[in-house]
């Protein structure tokens, strides 16, 4: 079963005379273990695609399914539950909560997904260790470098073993080495855990890690050249 | 999980600490106001409750010690004794007098109670220390009054210009603005310039007598007077004190609660405005606005409860310190008042946080992508 299926999705953005089509009949299917890179210039609809795929926006037309469940048939609370349990998010900035330690940031995502506290803590520690952040786990996010923060965000995105990871320009704010480290970590862990990954990016450093490359231009999705 | 979410949503530590301090001060103010009222209420209850009288005969229209302008003829007590069922009837004078130490110093206006020495009805409540007056030139006075005047047991004192000696000290007789002094009826009449006139007649019922029936009989016999049972007299005194004080206390408590609500609102509003990106991320991760609001409210409740408990504790410590070093300011903090304060402050805090919490609905999880 595909982790994510979009069928003929249309979504507009803006209002009145500024209303434009962000997604024009987009269809996409991603299986477990796949890493799909969606490239495109700013304003091409990449973020809208991620938001629709994650159930944060509802399509004006078409269907979105995660693990075979049609998001359109679910109410807001059920979509939230599905998102918490089955989807991991990685944003352009790490966006960790400053009031929590790195470890607790990761544990929070596990708890939101419904993992028992002991299991969540075990998963968080294992992931942080794997990402070379074991020594940084008790620290506050502001004490970490940008690359370390984003790797901690990778741990947060994967701690609950989601079926789908949605990443929005995850390396855009990082230098070369840090960006590569984050990309490697995301790709390796997602494969190990059998997660499907949809990455919106225009960072060429990510190209080697994708199993498929797509291009989004003016809301239309095509295979990348 | 609630713990993690609440900790994650905490505001800036210094701002939270300042808010908690503000709530602490509001709680301190509220508990102190309650305690001052309790102290005053206890003072107006102590004397009439422990004076040994079953019934009080007062000038018509008078029903309390605090405001009593009419007077009765001294002989009225003899007339009361003739009523069947009356075992004792003693005249009492209540008047404001000026007291000052014999050696000079600070003056104080006290509420003098003159009664028949040595054991007539209407005498002082059990003493804290010393002995009751035995002679016309001896008095006992409230401990706070003694502190104000700088006198103690054995000290010479001038009350209404008459030289007397302090033989004992009472407690529970501090009306905050003034205090009680107890002495010989004749001395009190001379000091107040009211010869042959008294304020009340304290009546003791014979064993087994029906007090309500006795009150009716006294009303019939003593025309132009009010006759009150002990319970009615105490209730009327409480009502008199509360009527003047409670509206002001209510206003001050309301203002204190409003200040606490505004402080909490500022904290919550700052949190919602400054942590918008975090809130958007949490929404994207699957936290519902309701759950986030509940976490925010729990955090506010914890902060307010901390402030309230600290404030109530400080009020208790303040009461102990005042009792030790400034007894004129009498406070009687009580656990039920502290609990009421806690409940009021939590309600005020929830009210203050309501608008910022409602604004959580305006946070769009898509903002997590745009940060």
Question: Which strand ranges, in their side-by-side order, compose the sheet holding A20-30?
Answer: A20-30, A4-13, A61-66, A69-70
pLDDT single digits (tens) A130-146:
999 999 999 999 999 99
CA distance B102 to B159: 9
Burial class (CB in 10 A: 0-12, 13-18, 19+), B45: middle
pLDDT single digits (tens) B325-345:
988 888 999 999 999 999 999
A contact test, residue of B7, B276, B285, B291 with most A CBs within 10 A: B285
Q: With bands split at pLDDT 50, 70 and 90, how would you rate the model's confidence at A80?
A: very high
pLDDT value of position A151: 94
My answer on whether omega of the bond before B118 falls inside 30° of 0, hence cis, is yes
Nearest residue in A to B12, CA atom: A99
Count of CB atoms situated within 10 Å of the CB of B274: 13
How close B260 comes to chain A (CA, Å)? 24
The answer, yes or no, to whether residue B117 has pLDDT greater than 90, is: yes
pLDDT single digits (tens) B45-66:
888 888 889 999 999 988 888 8
Q: With bands split at pLDDT 50, 70 and 90, how would you rate the model's confidence at B12?
A: confident
Q: Two tokens at A167?
A: 């990443």
Percent of chain B with pLDDT over 90: 72
pLDDT single digits (tens) B153-163:
999 999 999 99
B181-208 in b/e burial notation, b at 16+ Cβ within 10 A?
bbbbbebbbbbbebeebbbbbbbbbeee
CA distance A202 to A91: 14
Q: Two tokens at B327?
A: 């007894």
How close B285 comes to chain A (CA, Å)? 5
Q: Does A95 touch chain B (CB under 8 A)?
A: yes
Beta carbons of B369 and A80 less than 8 Å apart: no
Q: Two tokens at A140?
A: 């506050």
3-class secondary structure, A33: coil
pLDDT value of position A203: 86
How close A116 comes to chain B (CA, Å)? 9
pLDDT single digits (tens) B188-234:
999 888 888 899 999 999 999 999 999 999 999 998 899 999 999 99
Q: With bands split at pLDDT 50, 70 and 90, how would you rate the model's confidence at B2?
A: low
pLDDT value of position B317: 96
Beta carbons of B365 and A50 less than 8 Å apart: no
CA distance A213 to B155: 101
pLDDT value of position B216: 93
CA distance A190 to A161: 9
**Chain B window 269-288: which residues touch A at a Cβ cutoff of 8 Å?**
277-278, 281-282, 284-288
pLDDT single digits (tens) A147-186:
999 999 999 999 999 999 999 999 988 888 888 989 999 9
Q: How far is CA A137 from the centre of its chain?
A: 22
The values of phi and psi at residue A159, to 5°, are -60, -30
Percent of chain A with pLDDT over 90: 81
The answer, yes or no, to whether residue B283 has pLDDT greater than 90, is: yes
In chain A, residues with a C-beta closer than 8 Å to the C-beta of B285 are 83-84, 89, 109, 112
Q: Given the structure tokens 């608008």, which residue do they identify?
A: B355
Nearest residue to B26 (alpha-carbon basis) of B315, B322, B324, B223: B315
Q: Two tokens at A106?
A: 């990761």
Nearest residue to A179 (alpha-carbon basis) of A211, A187, A95, B371: A187
pLDDT value of position B94: 93
Task: Give the residue-averaged pLDDT of A43-62.
Answer: 94
The answer, yes or no, to whether residue A104 has pLDDT greater than 60, is: yes
In chain B, residues with a C-beta closer than 8 Å to the C-beta of A111 are 1, 4-5
Task: Give the residue-averaged pLDDT of B361-365.
Answer: 91
Report the sign of the C-alpha dihedral through residues B325, B327, B330, B332, in that order. Answer: positive
B contact test, residue of A74, A81, A95 with most B CBs within 10 A: A95
3-class secondary structure, A69: strand
Beta carbons of A80 and B368 less than 8 Å apart: no
For residue B203, list its beta bridge partners: B55, B89
pLDDT value of position B70: 80
Report the sign of the C-alpha dihedral through residues B37, B40, B42, B44, in that order. Answer: negative
For residue B170, list its beta bridge partners: B142
Beta carbons of A100 and B281 less than 8 Å apart: no
pLDDT single digits (tens) B84-114:
999 999 999 999 999 999 888 889 999 999 9
Task: Give the residue-averaged pLDDT of A61-78.
Answer: 95
Please, what is the average pLDDT of chain B?
A: 91
C-beta separation of A119 from A110 below 8 A: yes
Q: Which pairing describes strands A20-30 and A4-13: parallel, antiparallel, or unpaired?
A: antiparallel
**Chain B window 287-306: which residues touch A at a Cβ cutoff of 8 Å?**
287-288
A and B: number of Cβ contacts within 8 A = 73
Nearest residue to A60 (alpha-carbon basis) of A52, B254, A68, B339: A52
Q: Given the structure tokens 């050696």, which residue do they identify?
A: B103
CA distance A196 to A167: 11
Task: Give the residue-averaged pLDDT of A112-129.
Answer: 96
Beta carbons of A112 and B285 less than 8 Å apart: yes
Task: Give the residue-averaged pLDDT of A2-25.
Answer: 90
CA distance B323 to A130: 64
C-beta separation of B18 from B333 below 8 A: no
Nearest residue to B5 (alpha-carbon basis) of B359, B330, B321, B282: B282
Q: Does A107 touch chain B (CB under 8 A)?
A: yes
pLDDT value of position A70: 95
A contact test, residue of B11, B286, B291 with most A CBs within 10 A: B286
CA distance A138 to A129: 12
Q: Does B366 touch chain A (CB under 8 A)?
A: yes
Nearest residue to A161 (alpha-carbon basis) of A80, A224, A87: A87
Beta carbons of B1 and A113 less than 8 Å apart: no
Nearest residue in B to A102, CA atom: B8
3-class secondary structure, A11: strand
Task: Give the residue-averaged pLDDT of B239-256.
Answer: 91
Beta carbons of B286 and A81 less than 8 Å apart: yes
Beta carbons of A89 and B368 less than 8 Å apart: yes
pLDDT value of position B51: 82
The values of phi and psi at residue A34, to 5°, are -80, 145
B131-163 in b/e burial notation, b at 16+ Cβ within 10 A?
ebbeebbbbbbbbbbbbbbebeeebebbbbebe
**Chain A window 144-173: which residues touch B at a Cβ cutoff of 8 Å?**
168
pLDDT value of position B196: 83
The answer, yes or no, to whether residue B318 has pLDDT greater than 70, is: yes
pLDDT value of position B371: 57
CA distance B175 to B328: 9
In chain A, residues with a C-beta closer than 8 Å to the C-beta of B10 are 99
Q: Which residues make Cβ contacts (< 8 Å) with residue B229, sequence separation at least 6?
A: B54, B55, B56, B211, B212, B215
Q: Does B324 touch chain A (CB under 8 A)?
A: no
CA distance B29 to B113: 33
B contact test, residue of A78, A99, A150 with most B CBs within 10 A: A99
Q: Which residues make Cβ contacts (< 8 Å) with residue B293, sequence separation at least 6?
A: B357, B358, B360
pLDDT value of position B370: 67
Most distant CA pair in chain B: distance in Å?
A: 95
């Amino acid at each position: 079963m595909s982790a994510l299926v979009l069928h003929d999705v249309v979504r507009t953005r803006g209002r009145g005379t500024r209303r434009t089509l962000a997604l024009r009949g987009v269809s996409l299917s991603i299986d477990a273990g796949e890493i799909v890179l969606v490239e495109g210039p700013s304003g091409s609809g990449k973020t809208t695609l991620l938001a629709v795929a994650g159930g944060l926006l509802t399509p004006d037309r078409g269907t979105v399914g995660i693990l075979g469940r049609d998001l359109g048939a679910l109410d807001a609370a059920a979509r939230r539950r599905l998102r918490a349990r089955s989807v991991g998010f990685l944003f352009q900035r790490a966006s960790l909560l400053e009031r929590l330690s790195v470890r607790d940031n990761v544990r929070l995502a596990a708890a939101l997904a419904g993992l028992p506290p002991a299991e969540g803590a075990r998963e968080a520690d294992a992931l942080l260790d794997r990402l070379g952040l074991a020594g940084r786990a008790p620290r506050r996010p502001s004490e970490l470098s940008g690359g370390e923060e984003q790797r901690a965000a990778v741990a947060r995105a994967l701690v609950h073993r989601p079926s789908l990871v949605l990443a929005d320009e995850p390396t855009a704010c990082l230098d070369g080495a840090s960006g590569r480290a984050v990309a490697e970590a995301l790709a390796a862990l997602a494969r190990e855990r059998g997660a499907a990954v949809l990455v919106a990016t225009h960072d060429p450093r990510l190209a080697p890690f994708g199993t498929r490359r797509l291009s989004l231009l003016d809301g239309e999705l095509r295979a990348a050249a | 999980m609630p713990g993690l979410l609440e900790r994650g949503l905490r505001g800036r530590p210094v701002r939270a600490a300042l808010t908690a301090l503000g709530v602490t001060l509001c709680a301190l103010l509220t508990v102190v106001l309650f305690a001052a009222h309790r102290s005053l209420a206890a003072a107006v209850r102590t004397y009439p409750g422990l004076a040994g009288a079953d019934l009080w005969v007062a000038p018509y229209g008078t029903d309390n010690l605090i405001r009593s302008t009419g007077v009765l003829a001294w002989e009225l007590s003899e007339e009361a004794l003739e009523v069947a069922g009356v075992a004792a009837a003693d005249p009492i004078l209540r008047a404001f007098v000026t007291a000052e130490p014999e050696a000079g110093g600070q003056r104080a206006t006290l509420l003098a109670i003159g009664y028949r020495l040595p054991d007539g009805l209407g005498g002082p409540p059990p003493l804290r220390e010393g002995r009751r007056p035995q002679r016309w030139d001896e008095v006992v006075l409230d401990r706070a009054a003694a502190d104000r005047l700088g006198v103690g047991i054995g000290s010479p004192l001038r009350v209404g210009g008459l030289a007397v000696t302090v033989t004992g000290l009472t407690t529970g007789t501090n009306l905050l603005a003034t205090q009680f002094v107890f002495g010989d009826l004749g001395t009190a009449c001379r000091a107040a310039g009211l010869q042959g006139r008294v304020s009340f007649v304290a009546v003791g019922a014979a064993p087994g007598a029906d007090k309500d029936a006795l009150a009716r009989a006294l009303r019939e016999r003593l025309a132009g007077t009010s006759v009150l049972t002990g319970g009615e007299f105490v209730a009327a005194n409480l009502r008199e004190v509360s009527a003047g004080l409670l509206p002001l206390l209510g206003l001050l408590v309301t203002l204190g609660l409003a200040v606490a609500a505004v402080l909490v609102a500022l904290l919550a509003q700052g949190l919602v405005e400054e942590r918008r990106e975090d809130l958007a991320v949490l929404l994207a991760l699957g936290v519902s606005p309701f759950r986030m609001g509940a976490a925010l409210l729990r955090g506010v409740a914890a902060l307010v409860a901390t402030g309230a408990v600290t404030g109530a504790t400080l009020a208790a410590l303040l009461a102990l310190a005042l009792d030790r070093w400034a007894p004129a300011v009498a406070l009687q903090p009580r656990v039920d008042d502290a609990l009421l304060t806690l409940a009021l402050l939590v309600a005020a805090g929830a009210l203050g946080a309501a608008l910022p919490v409602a604004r959580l609905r305006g946070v769009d999880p898509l903002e997590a992508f745009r940060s």
